[in-house]
Amino acid sequence: MTKTQNNDPKNTLVMKFGGTSVGTSEAMEKTLKIIDSAKNEWKNVVVVTSALSGVTNWLLKGAAKSSQGEMQSIYQADSEIRQAHEKIADKLICDQIRRKQVKQEISHLISDFINLCQAIAVLGEATPRAIDAVSSLGERMSVRLLAAALEDKGVAAQVVESTQLIVTDNCFQNAHPDFKATGKITKQVLQPVFNSGKIPIITGFIGSTPDGIVTTLGRGGSDYSAGIIAAALQADEVWIWTDVDGVMSADPRRVPHAQTIPELTYKEVAELAYFGAKVLHPKTIRPIVEAGINLRICNTFNPDHPGTRLIPDNHNNSKGAIKAVTTIEGQKLITVEGRGMLGVPGVAARAFAAVASTGTSVPLITQASSEQSICFAVPMEAADGVISALEDTFENEIIKRDIDRIWATDEVVIITMVGAGMIRTPGIAGRIFSALGNKKVNVIAIAQGSSEVSISMVVSQADANEGLMALHELILGEHQ
């Protein structure tokens, strides 16, 4: 349902801060200034935060090692996590009573972590439910620290754990929200906070089942949390604060000349998120688009930069057909081929049912027009299991030689060009393949989305960097 347009244009803003935005005292101080500034311009401000950078990794490592009986990692994680939070508290919280209280709260959560890990060690395994309980602790620590730092600066804030807001199923580690139940309870919980003049500081990444059991929305799910809460509140805007100047035309760590993309359509962002861009969690887009909410991606360390703004898909912003190039690494191409597949219905359905039985996601599919082969990409670590499942499914066809072989390539990389303007621009594919050919980059497979917003190419791992640079040069040439 589209958000009503009769709200005050400065009514409700949801801001999400990533781990790097709260990971050090210097970073958190910038975050405090951004929140304080927003409070002066918006009636209601909601803050969703991730764990401090690195903390979730320490928590998960501790749980994994505990399941193997290696208890020393728990105490190393205890030390690292405690030190990270206390260092920020000592720097940013002047009031001694408040500083002592927040340290005690974090200490209690660290004790919960140790107790959970000890239980995991006794059981000898870390179940998905236990992993969610452990990994949720990072966000639960960070909200307390951020809220206390805000209070110390004279900004009224209140910790709200999203277990009180986001109702999910019990699919631990990748839970799915119940949007209707979440919308109702979120308004009930947060409206009194707004009425008291406080800013709710909300844990990203986590929710709970109707029975109150902690779940997580998947790694990177704090973005999703912000989208869910914004939709529930019918917010005017969502601002995602990260450590780059919005969505870049390529990964700046690999392409030094990457540039900020000022505007992206919802489809373009969805394609970028799906094909490996790290700025937005792929699921974030859905609740924001459906609620008609404006979204910006901003840089905590360069807050005056306009960042990237999301615009409707029908917006006429086709200047430059291609906007970005992104990659998914660590893939293998699996091919099912055989002359006996020609004209036989249901082969593709059976193949992908076999893949689904292994719990593997397929980011790219191609099929020969002769119907004699199906080719698709899977993560490298899943390739052997997928091939085994396919061989079991097509055992009779293999015996009868209707299917000649099922095999996987060496490591490959999917490179995807994204841009809504490609729909209206003739010759784009030719220019893409010419750019790759000029650099002697061989394209192993090709797929184009039905939305015509993206074209994906599979290249060998050895050719990936050369291909990425060549295609980014093509983008730069379009915008000059």
413-444: pLDDT as tens digits: 999 999 887 766 778 888 899 999 999 999 99
Fold of 314-480: VC0802-like (3.30.2130)
pTM score: 0.83
Domain boundaries, the chain: 12-243, 314-480
pLDDT of residue 1: 39
Distance CA 110, CA 121 (A): 16
pLDDT of residue 106: 98
pLDDT of residue 451: 60
* CATH number assigned to the domain with residue range 12-243, chosen from the 4 options 3.30.565.10, 3.10.20.30, 3.40.1160.10, 3.40.190.10: 3.40.1160.10
pLDDT of residue 347: 87
pLDDT of residue 320: 55
Residues of the chain with confidence (pLDDT) below 50: 1-7, 9
Please classify residue 440 by burial: count the beta carbons closer than 10 Å to its beta carbon, then call 0-12 exposed, 13-18 middle and 19+ buried: exposed
Is the CB of residue 188 less than 8 Å from the CB of residue 247?
no
Three-state SS string across the chain, please?
CCCCCCCCCCCEEEEEECHHHHCCHHHHHHHHHHHHHHHCCCCEEEEEECCCCCHHHHHHHHHHHHHCCCCHHHHHHHHHHHHHHHHHHHHHCCCHHHHHHHHHHHHHHHHHHHHHHHHHHHHCCCCHHHHHHHHCHHHHHHHHHHHHHHHHCCCCEEEECHHHCCEECCCCCCCCECHHHHHHHHHHHHHHHHHCCCEEEEECCEEECCCCCEEECCCCHHHHHHHHHHHHHCCCEEEEEECCCCCECCCCCCCCCCCECCEEEHHHHHHHHHCCCCCCCHHHHHHHHHHCCEEEEEECCCCCCCCEEEECCCCCCCCCCCCEEEEEEEEEEEEEECHHHCCCCCHHHHHHHHHHHCCCCCCCEEECCCCCEEEEEEEHHHHHHHHHHHHHHCHHHHHCCCCCEEEECCCEEEEEEECHHHHHCCCHHHHHHHHHHHCCCCCCEEEECCCCCEEEEEEEHHHHHHHHHHHHHHHHHHHC
pLDDT of residue 368: 65
pLDDT of residue 184: 96
pLDDT of residue 364: 92
pLDDT of residue 168: 98
CA angle (391, 396, 397) in 5-degree steps: 80
